Amino acid sequence: MIAGLLLLIMANGLGFFWPKALVQLSLNDGTQVLGQMNAKEMIPYSNTPDAPEGKHRIQLKVGNRDLYGLDFRWIDEDAIQARSYPKDAVFVERREWGNFFGKILEVRKGSTVLASGSQSGWNALQPLVHHANEIHETIQHVETDVIGEINYEMEDIRLQLRGLNLTEHPDDQEKHSLNAQLETLQSIYEKEAETLRTLYDSLRDYSVVFIDANGQAQSLPVGQIIRVLHPNQMPWHEKALVYLSNIWMVLSEEPREANTEGGIFPAIFGTIMMVLMMSIAVVPFGILAAIYLNEYAHQGILVRFVRIAVNNLAGVPSIVFGVFGLGFFVYAVGGTLDTLFFPESLPTPTFGTGGLLWASLTLALMTVPVVIVATEEGLSAVPREYREGSLGLGATKLETLLRVVIPCAMPGILTGLILAISRATGEVAPLMLTGVVKLAPSLPLDSYFPFLHIDRKFMHLGFHIYDVGFQSPNVEAAKPMVYVTTLVLVAIVVILNLTAVALRNRMRRKYSGSTV
């Protein structure tokens, strides 16, 4: 069952990246339809007398959402007169409104026609698209690095000014200095904003006119085009290169079009960061608790009660942990931290709202019973003779624990970590209450001190699957992204687990006397 599920995910996920041919269908009513074959199925049974039986229909991705209002169209095979694969049909990947399928009519600069016709328009369009993408990279650099840094410094100065105003005796000289710095940054900001407006205006200098299968014209700014392909003319090796570039784009870029297109890099980064922080929190706490219960605590009624409580915690629904994390970590602890250390930011919360730290701690609390139980089993599996031999040679109990018992129990400890990672990576319900968002404005890690901003909200692959699959306004267009994100999430879980398994096996070989 698992193998079949993985094959289904891989077939639908990896197949999404291959550039499909564009087929043009001539229908019985005289209209033409151009698009990519997406699915084929038997026509569902209908009670109407003229309903066809045993007939099939095909689902065509027609794109051109701004013209047709939809991305996909079902067509009965009986309604098709002829099929063709026009060589001059182009696949246009846009930054908005999805893909466009059609033919190039002409390329313009303002009202001046630079090239007309399919081939000449193609030759003129390619360098313009490349130049527009370079402008977009410059815009991203100005917005993120230049203006982003200015905004960061201006906000820091505003918070300092507000902090001074909250004091009983503010320093007027320091306020004057901060205001002067703020005015200087404001002037720099206005210059960069003007540069940004100039760059955006340059994206509208050139335009290209396409026509769809029925001859309807559509003019698009070149700045809105990511790339243009001739899928019906491309040999297999060119398609393979496009296939690899598509995979890289998904893994390295940010999402767009309501998360149905673009990449999933912020979700990948957020998932890995959350798992790492959760592991850093849960491993020491779980190991110390297990060592105390197994090595130091008196085995009486209280310890048995604690073990029962730990086992019961392992069965508590994850959403309950999410509610607890929201109430305790976010509102109680985070709200207290804001009052004590960030009063100048209030009422805007810093730690008193969901973020990476609280989500990681909530998942650590949820998975700590697994680590405790696995660690206790590992400690119990260490032969008693090891402890007695170490103590007999003059070692203290702490030295015996650190140098003999824990190394021999390390395979069991890593087993608990593997189980904790496997459960935490795919959890979504607690994260919806403690910090995950549909689209994060910035990554938790950047070049601004303290570099790792554990108070920021983040994206997560599991929530991304839920959001794209069930909250998307365009369900059919979102399906491929659901499979792709699921495949990446499974791959991350497998990689993390394989790393932990490799460490565990290495420990087993090193301490082969352990019966774990």
Same domain, 464 and 332: yes
- For the record, the structure tokens of 355 come out as 């973020």
DSSP codes joined into one string, 231-274: TTT--HHHHHHHHHHHHHHHHHS-EETTTTEE--HHHHHHHHHH
Calpha distance 509→512 (Å, rounded):
5
- For the record, the structure tokens of 153 come out as 């410094």
Residue 448 lies in a domain: yes
Neighbour count for residue 431 (Cβ, 10 Å): 28
Give yes or no for a cis peptide into 430 (omega within 30° of 0): no
Nearby residues of 10 by Cβ (< 8 Å), 6 or more positions away: 487
Which residue, of 180, 209, 234, is where some domain finishes? 234
Residue 258 lies in a domain: no
Task: Tell me what pLDDT residue 54 has.
Answer: 62
Residues in the chain: 516
Which has the closest alpha carbon to 362: 331, 386, 400? 331
Q: Is 352 left (phi over 0), alpha (psi -120 to 50) or beta?
A: alpha
Residue 55 lies in a domain: no
Question: Taking a C-beta distance cutoff of 8 angstroms, is the pair 496, 275 a contact?
Answer: yes
Residue whose tokens read 């090193």: 510
Calpha distance 69→246 (Å, rounded):
26
pLDDT digits (tens, 9 = 90+) for 104-159: 999 999 889 999 988 999 999 999 999 999 999 999 999 988 998 999 999 999 99
Calpha distance 363→366 (Å, rounded):
5
pTM score, whole prediction: 0.88
Kindly report the backbone phi and psi dihedral angles of residue 504, in degrees, each rounded to the nearest multiple of 5, phi listed first.
-65, -45
Task: Tell me what pLDDT residue 199 has.
Answer: 94
Same domain, 187 and 293: no
Residue 191 lies in a domain: yes
pLDDT digits (tens, 9 = 90+) for 466-483: 988 888 777 777 888 889
Residue 475 lies in a domain: yes
Q: How many domains does the chain have?
A: 2
Residue 68 lies in a domain: no
Same domain, 228 and 284: no
Same domain, 214 and 340: no
Which residue, of 191, 217, 234, is where some domain finishes? 234
The single-letter DSSP state of residue 54 is S
CATH code, domain with 412: 1.10.3720.10
Residue 401 lies in a domain: yes
DSSP codes joined into one string, 322-387: HHHIIIIIIIIIIHHHHHHH-GGGTTS-SSSS--HHHHHHHHHHHHHHHHHHHHHHHHHHS-HHHH
Same domain, 292 and 219: no
Residue whose tokens read 């598509």: 246
Structural domain range at position 419: 269-510
Cross-strand pairs, 509 = none
Cross-strand pairs, 458 = 436
Q: What is the dihedral of CA 407, 408, 411, 413, to 10 degrees?
A: -60
Same domain, 309 and 384: yes
- Our CA angle for 338, 340, 342, nearest 5°, is 45
Which residue, of 212, 234, 256, is where some domain finishes? 234
The parts of the chain modelled with pLDDT lower than 50 are: 513-516
Same domain, 200 and 285: no
Cross-strand pairs, 227 = 93
Cross-strand pairs, 228 = 92
Same domain, 192 and 337: no
Same domain, 369 and 490: yes
Calpha distance 68→84 (Å, rounded):
21
Same domain, 308 and 420: yes
Calpha distance 25→77 (Å, rounded):
10
Same domain, 230 and 273: no
Residue 3 lies in a domain: no
Task: Tell me what pLDDT residue 493 has.
Answer: 85
Task: Tell me what pLDDT residue 49 has.
Answer: 52
Give yes or no for a cis peptide into 473 (omega within 30° of 0): no
To which H or E segment does residue 60 belong?
strand 56-61
Calpha distance 119→103 (Å, rounded):
10
Same domain, 455 and 369: yes
